[in-house]
Amino acid sequence: MSVVIETKALEKIYSESKFPVHALRGVDLQVHKGEFTAIVGPSGSGKTTLLNIIGGLDRPTKGRISVGGVDIAHLSDNELIEFRQKNIGFVFQSYNLIPVLTAKENVEFIMLLQNRSKEERIRRTESLLNRVGLGDRMDNRPGEMSGGQQQRVAVARALASSPQFILADEPTANLDSKTAGSLLDMMLEMNREEGTTFVFSTHDSRVIRRARRVITLVDGLIDSDEIREQ
Amino acid sequence: MGAISSLLVLSWRNIWRNKRRTAITIASIAFAVFFATILGSIQKGAWDNTVDNVVKFFHGYLQVHKEGYSEDRTINKAFPLTEELLQAGSMDGIDGTAPRLESFALASYKQYTKGALVIGTDPTNEDKMTDLKNRLVEGQYFDKSRDEAMIGEGLAKYLNMGVGDTLVLIGQGYHGANAAGKYPIVGLLKFGSPELNKRMVYLPLSTAQYLYSADGLVTSLALIPSSREVAERLEPGLKSKLSEIGYEVEGWQDMIPELVQVRELDTIGAIVITMILYAIIAFGIFGTILMMTAERRYEFGVLVSIGMRRWKLALMVWMEIIFLALIGVLIGFLLSYPVVLYLHHYPITFTGEAAAAFEKFGTEPIMPASLSLSVFVRQVLVVFLVTAVLACYPIININRLKVVEAMRS
Ligand SMILES: Nc1ncnc2c1ncn2[C@@H]1O[C@H](COP(=O)(O)OP(=O)(O)OP(=O)(O)O)[C@@H](O)[C@H]1O
Ligand SMILES: [Mg+2]
């Protein structure tokens, strides 16, 4: 399987505050196409920091990060924005969606940014929203949907851009465990049936149980990396 | 939805997210436009009216004199009406000419005497140019074929004479000749300006030429333009053309420099008031912009994260602000237009002391609002300039936005 994400001796030091914080202290990581990877670890262990660097939202202090073979730490701000738009799907903890757009329009929006044709946009939007189980919610705005439904729309949007992988920092943190479970089931299904690569962080043990690879961070270092056969 | 039109849709929907704040912002812009438009219209209208009155009723918009007349207004600078001059009067935009012979004389009746300004003019053309007939309050309008005079009401009162009495004029004619004559009064004229009222004597042109021994000569040739705008447009060309052959052309602004100055001062005053008004409104708009940007930091962070270019995001926010301005300006106009229209047809009218001040300039004591598009256009320009400057804030803000920080809640 081809390598999608690769980091080498990745370090991140936050030095804006009085005491510099060594959030990542040399992370070596490879994520392959089609993996369903959970990043876990105690609060403050560096999960968000790692995901931000992998996603091209932040830059490492030292070490290398390449996504799809591109050394993204050396791209300019505008190149990075372009790169994220074409290569990475994002699902954040909450408030992912543009509140004034309907579910359909939110999914379509990312493809508008990519200048895709209208027919393709409409076709993909409808099939993706059906796929995440929201065929009957297409014309609702985020305010009219539950948290779980909003996260499903966010996943649909992330998929709509045809990214190399989807990055999700605690996508279930604001959901009750039942809803969290069904969101994860949906993501797993996408992973199994379409080979979509997911990298997400979580604290939720029931979510961790569903992951096929679990990377545990402790104090900015990989403590364990476990691949489970399912 | 194309990429840019989708931004338009987004902007439009975004401004209605906080309906109350949007309503307040729009209302404040509308109020400023409403107020400034009415103020500007009245101000411009009042001055247009004053200038039209003063200039039209007495001086005419364009006057041709012999070179040097404007410094030394003497009858010795009289000139014959040559072909070349009359040609100037037949150019496009000039409806006709009114030749005049003006000088001073002592006017007397029985034991009373007073210095007077004598204007010899063609009765028909003069009326066409200055509506002189309308100023007649007693008697009848003078006839060019008879040696008769019309005088200001105030002069008649001073000399204690009336229609039917005979006025004696004594003065100095062309190049020192004696000037004396007796003229029956056929009509009394009323001028807004008391000064004119006490001094004006009108004679038919040929009568005046005979009185001053200036046969065939005039001191000024007024050109009658179809409008003030036309006069202002033709003025520079005429000036240079006629100066080559020994004449000077005075525009209305040359003839009444004091009035022009007062108008400028007054205009600056109104501009300052309007600027203060807009400055206050600008703070309000800025407040809205600040809140709009601050409370949407997370959202902006998400949009840049998923790959929206900053300039697109900035354009979206900029359009939101422009939408607010546009709606505000539109509502301001819709509200002010009926008021301006009303004040145009039913002008504010002054009485008492204020009226007297107007009359001193020889104008009616009314302030009709101007319907001129320029007043409206200026408001639009000011509002867009102000909002465009204010809109720089979110644009800068978005360009500096650090995604990770914006999204750390
Ligand atoms: N901008 C920053 N400036 C300074 N220190 C920071 C900054 N961001 C994160 N940190 C610190 O870096 C360390 C790692 O933070 P990070 O957010 O990556 O942890 P996390 O594993 O995501 O924690 P959580 O489970 O609570 O989300 C922490 O000690 C945190 O306080
Ligand atoms: Mg975190």
Q: CA-to-CA distance for A187 and A199, rounded, in angstroms? A: 11
| B106 and B239 co-located in one domain | yes
| B159 and B95 co-located in one domain | yes
| B135 and B270 co-located in one domain | no
What's the mean pLDDT when you consider all of chain B? Answer: 88
DSSP at A203? -
| B398 and B374 co-located in one domain | yes
Ligand 1 touching residue A7 (CB < 6 A): no
pLDDT score of B57: 64
Residue identifier of the C-alpha nearest atom 7 of ligand 1? A14
Q: Residues of chain B with pLDDT > 70: what percent? A: 97
pLDDT at B1 over 60: no
Chain A: nearest CA to B400, how far in angstroms? 11
ipTM of the complex: 0.95
What residues are paired with B85 via a beta bridge? Answer: none
| B148 and B20 co-located in one domain | no
**Structural domain for A42, as ranges:** 3-227
pLDDT at B222 over 90: no
| B188 and B146 co-located in one domain | yes
Residue identifier of the C-alpha nearest atom 28 of ligand 1? A44
| B130 and B221 co-located in one domain | yes
Q: In chain B, positions 193-232, which contact chain A (CB-CB < 8 Å)?
A: none
Q: Which residues of A touch B401 (CB under 8 A)?
A: none
Residue B254 lies in a domain: no
| B225 and B88 co-located in one domain | yes
The count of domains in chain B is: 2
pLDDT score of B58: 63
* Any B CB within 8 A of A138 CB: no
Position B205 confidence tier, pLDDT thresholds 50, 70, 90:
very high
Q: Are strands A88-91 and B94-109 parallel, antiparallel or unpaired?
A: unpaired
Q: For tokens 């978005």, what's the residue?
A: B398
pLDDT score of A89: 96
CA-nearest of A222, A104, A84 to A163 is A84
Last residue of a domain, one of B210, B245, B280: B245
DSSP at A142? G
Residue B340 lies in a domain: yes
| B340 and B226 co-located in one domain | no
pLDDT at B197 over 60: yes
pLDDT score of B274: 87
Q: For tokens 């030394």, what's the residue?
A: B72
Query: How far, in Å, from the CA of A23 to the mean position of ligand 1?
Result: 7
| B209 and B281 co-located in one domain | no
Q: Which ligand is nearest to the CA of A18?
A: 1
| B232 and B313 co-located in one domain | no
pLDDT score of B93: 82
pLDDT score of B362: 61
Q: CA-to-CA distance for B375 and B395, rounded, in angstroms? A: 30
Q: Which atom of ligand 1 is nearest to the CA of A217?
A: 21
**Which residues have CB less than 5 Å away from ligand 2 (the ion)?**
A 47-48
Query: How far, in Å, from the CA of A227 to the mean position of ligand 1?
Result: 26
Position B307 confidence tier, pLDDT thresholds 50, 70, 90:
very high
Residue B60 lies in a domain: no
The count of domains in chain A is: 1
Q: In chain A, positions 19-38, which contact chain B (CB-CB < 8 Å)?
A: none
Inter-chain touch A112–B1, beta carbons under 8 Å: yes
Tell me which residue in B1, B302, B306 faces A95 most closely, judged by beta carbons.
B302
**Contact between A139 and B56 (Cβ < 8 Å):** no
Residue B252 lies in a domain: no
Position B409 confidence tier, pLDDT thresholds 50, 70, 90:
low
pLDDT score of B230: 85
Residues of chain A with pLDDT under 70: 1, 230
Residue identifier of the C-alpha nearest atom 18 of ligand 1? A46
Overall average pLDDT of the B364-373 stretch: 82
Residue B62 lies in a domain: no
pLDDT score of B13: 94
| Model confidence pLDDT, tens digit, residues B22-38 | 999 999 999 999 999 99
pLDDT score of B360: 62
Query: How far, in Å, from the CA of A98 to the mean position of ligand 1?
Result: 26
Q: CA-to-CA distance for A38 and A208, rounded, in angstroms? A: 7
pLDDT at B3 over 80: no
Residue identifier of the C-alpha nearest atom 29 of ligand 1? A44
Q: Which atom of ligand 1 is nearest to the CA of A51?
A: 18
Please report, for residues B39, B197, B256, B347, the alpha-carbon distance to residue B269 in angstroms, rounded to integers and kept in the order given: 11, 31, 20, 21
The 3-class secondary structure across chain B, one letter per residue, is CCHHHHHHHHHHHHHCCCHHHHHHHHHHHHHHHHHHHHHHHHHHHHHHHHHHHHHHHHHCCEEEEECCCCCCCCHHHCEECCHHHHHHCCCCCEEEEEEEEEEEEEEEECCEEEEEEEEEECHHHHHHHHCHHHHEEEECCCCCCCCCEEEEHHHHHHHCCCCCCEEEEEEECHHHCEEEEEEEEEEEECCCCHHHHCCEEEEEHHHHHHHCCCCCEECEEEEEECCHHHHHHHHHHHHHHHHCCCEEEEEHHHHCHHHHHHHHHHHHHHHHHHHHHHHHHHHHHHHHHHHHHHCCHHHHHHHHHCCCCHHHHHHHHHHHHHHHHHHHHHHHHHHHHHHHHHHHHCCEECCHHHHHHHHHCCCCCEECCCCCHHHHHHHHHHHHHHHHHHCHHHHHHHHHCCHHHHHCC
Overall average pLDDT of the B352-368 stretch: 73
| B217 and B90 co-located in one domain | yes
Q: Which residues of B touch A85 (CB under 8 A)?
A: 306-308
pLDDT at B361 over 70: no
Q: Helix axis angle, B3-15 relative to B310-345, nearest 10°?
A: 60
pLDDT score of B59: 67
Tell me which residue in B10, B302, B308 faces A92 most closely, judged by beta carbons.
B302
pTM of the model: 0.78
Q: Which atom of ligand 1 is nearest to the CA of A52?
A: 18
**Structural domain for B127, as ranges:** 68-245
* Any B CB within 8 A of A9 CB: no
Q: Which of A214-218, B48-52, B218-222, B382-386 has the highest mean pLDDT?
A: A214-218
Last residue of a domain, one of B221, B245, B269: B245
DSSP at A222? E
Last residue of a domain, one of B184, B217, B245: B245
Residue B253 lies in a domain: no
What residues are paired with B252 via a beta bridge? Answer: none
